[in-house]
């Protein structure tokens, strides 16, 4: 087929399209959906009994802020990857992952000197992991649905950032549910599930994007 | 672009013509004249068509368009690299072995096959010809026709069935080409 004929064919078939909303609008919609999911999660699983006192804890607030930043930045990056020409610049692409490393580093710094002992003493507490996975589902579905509406080329980037954003929302919510503040517990039952959920959701999400 | 998004056929044709020229210059500037400049241009136009709704009026058009061209160029370079690694270019096709020619010629009315092929729907015919006459891998056909590999195989299978029906069930089952072997 010649290029001229292709142009004529595409123009002939062209109907009006529904323009994708602006990035800020889509990000705001995702944030609202995620907050709603978080609120429902808190109602279903119950807020930790010492939630009010935790608001005065710098450690708790730093962790909450880190997970919120991971979620927000990863979501924004994922949405940007869906629009040609709006992709994050090369040096900024890894910011969400860098924030995950910072979160892990923060917890590891608290275990410094007794890492093996404290990790060995971590109680079996898989419900944190399941809750993170459950609470990540709505933000993940919303994000991949949005990505399918856009026109992503780098499916790997879109998938991993969407999945990380969703998992971070789950972790943020679970911080308000789980009453265990020990760094070893946070590392094993909050950070590792976020990484695992991110990988699993990214793989599944990538498949859905490839099939569009 | 806004008019094209609203469905204005003339504006869209003018925009695509402009884009085709820009894409051609972009590719030639980077790779000089290669045999697949037109392939990149056409792939770009099809991507522009698919991504038309992602352009937001308050953003510049150039970064949006050149991101698409760059992406399609990279895809084509990768594909060309893969082909260069696995295939050898030849000016003329080698002659098939004598036994093969003899067995093919015996009992097969080439004209009848041509007529049956001509009766297939265009896309089905293109797929059958690509697999059987040009020995093109299904993933290449899928990329070229903007289909999934599975869809190409299904279309090929339906094409073979239709051919067998058109030829009055004359084609022996053993000769039926398997689309799966061309996954390359």
d(CA A167, CA A130): 11
- Count Cβ atoms within 10 A of the Cβ of residue B89 and give its class: 0-12 exposed, 13-18 middle, 19 or more buried: exposed
- For residue B159, pLDDT beyond 60: yes
Q: Closest Cα to residue A201, out of A171, A172, A159?
A: A159
Asked if A147 and A211 count as a contact pair (C-beta separation under 8 A), the reply is no
Do B67 and A85 count as a contact with CB atoms less than 8 A apart?
Answer: yes
Do B49 and A1 count as a contact with CB atoms less than 8 A apart?
Answer: no
Of B5, B57, B65, Cβ closest to residue A17: B5
> What predicted TM-score, i.e. pTM, was given to this entire model?
0.71
State the pLDDT at residue B94: 67
3-state secondary structure A121-149: CCCCCCHHHHHHHHHHHHHHHHHHHHHHH
d(CA A171, CA A174): 5
Radius of gyration of chain A (CA): 20
- For residue A180, pLDDT beyond 60: yes
Computed over every residue of chain B, the mean pLDDT equals 80
A8 Cβ under 8 Å from any chain B Cβ: yes
State the pLDDT at residue B154: 84
Kindly list the residues from chain B whose CB atom is less than 8 angstroms away from the CB atom of residue A89: none
A156 Cβ under 8 Å from any chain B Cβ: no
Do B56 and A14 count as a contact with CB atoms less than 8 A apart?
Answer: no
Using CA atoms of A162, A167, A171, A172 in order, give the dihedral in degrees to the nearest 10.
Answer: 20
The predicted-structure confidence for B78-105, as pLDDT tens digits, reads as follows 888 887 777 776 766 666 666 655 555 5
Q: Closest Cα to residue A86, out of B88, B126, B71, B2?
A: B71
State the pLDDT at residue B104: 58
- Count Cβ atoms within 10 A of the Cβ of residue A184 and give its class: 0-12 exposed, 13-18 middle, 19 or more buried: buried
B70 Cβ under 8 Å from any chain A Cβ: no
Separation in Å, CA A193 to CA A88, A117, A127, A182, A201: 26, 21, 10, 16, 12
B102 Cβ under 8 Å from any chain A Cβ: no
Asked if A93 and A126 count as a contact pair (C-beta separation under 8 A), the reply is no
ipTM (interface predicted TM): 0.75
Asked if B5 and A19 count as a contact pair (C-beta separation under 8 A), the reply is yes
């Amino acid at each position: 087929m010649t290029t001229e004929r292709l142009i004529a064919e595409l123009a002939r078939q062209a109907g009006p399209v529904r323009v994708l909303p602006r990035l800020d609008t889509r990000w705001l919609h995702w944030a609202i959906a995620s907050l709603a999911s978080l609120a429902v999660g808190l109602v279903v699983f119950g807020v930790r009994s010492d939630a009010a006192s935790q608001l005065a804890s710098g450690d708790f607030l730093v962790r909450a802020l880190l997970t919120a930043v991971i979620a927000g930045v990863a979501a924004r990056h994922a949405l940007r990857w869906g629009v040609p020409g709006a992709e994050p610049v090369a040096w900024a692409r890894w910011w969400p992952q860098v924030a995950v490393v910072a979160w892990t580093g923060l917890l590891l710094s608290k275990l410094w000197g007794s890492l093996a002992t404290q990790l060995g003493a971590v109680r079996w507490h898989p419900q944190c992991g399941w809750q993170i996975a459950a609470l990540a589902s709505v933000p993940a579905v919303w994000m991949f649905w949005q990505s399918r509406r856009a026109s992503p080329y780098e499916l790997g980037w879109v998938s991993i950032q969407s999945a990380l954003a969703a998992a971070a929302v789950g972790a943020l919510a679970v911080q308000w549910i789980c009453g265990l503040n020990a760094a070893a517990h946070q590392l094993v039952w909050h950070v590792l599930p976020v990484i695992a959920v991110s990988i699993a959701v990214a793989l599944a999400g990538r498949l859905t994007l490839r099939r569009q | 672009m806004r008019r094209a998004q609203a469905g204005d056929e003339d504006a869209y044709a003018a925009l695509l013509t402009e884009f085709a020229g820009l894409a051609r210059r972009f590719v030639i500037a980077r790779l000089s004249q290669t045999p697949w400049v037109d392939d990149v241009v056409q792939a770009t136009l099809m991507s522009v068509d698919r991504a038309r709704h992602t352009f937001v009026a308050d953003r510049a058009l150039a970064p949006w368009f050149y991101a698409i061209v760059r992406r399609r160029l990279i895809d084509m370079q990768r594909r060309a690299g893969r082909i260069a690694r696995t295939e050898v270019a030849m000016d003329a096709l080698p002659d098939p072995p004598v036994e093969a020619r003899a067995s093919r010629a015996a009992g097969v009315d080439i004209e009848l096959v041509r007529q049956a092929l001509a009766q297939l729907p265009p896309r089905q015919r293109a797929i059958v010809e690509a697999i059987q006459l040009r020995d093109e891998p299904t993933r290449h056909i899928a990329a070229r026709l903007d289909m999934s590999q599975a869809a190409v195989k299904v279309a090929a299978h339906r094409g073979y069935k239709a051919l067998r029906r058109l030829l009055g069930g004359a084609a022996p089952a053993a000769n039926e080409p398997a689309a799966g072997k061309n996954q390359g």
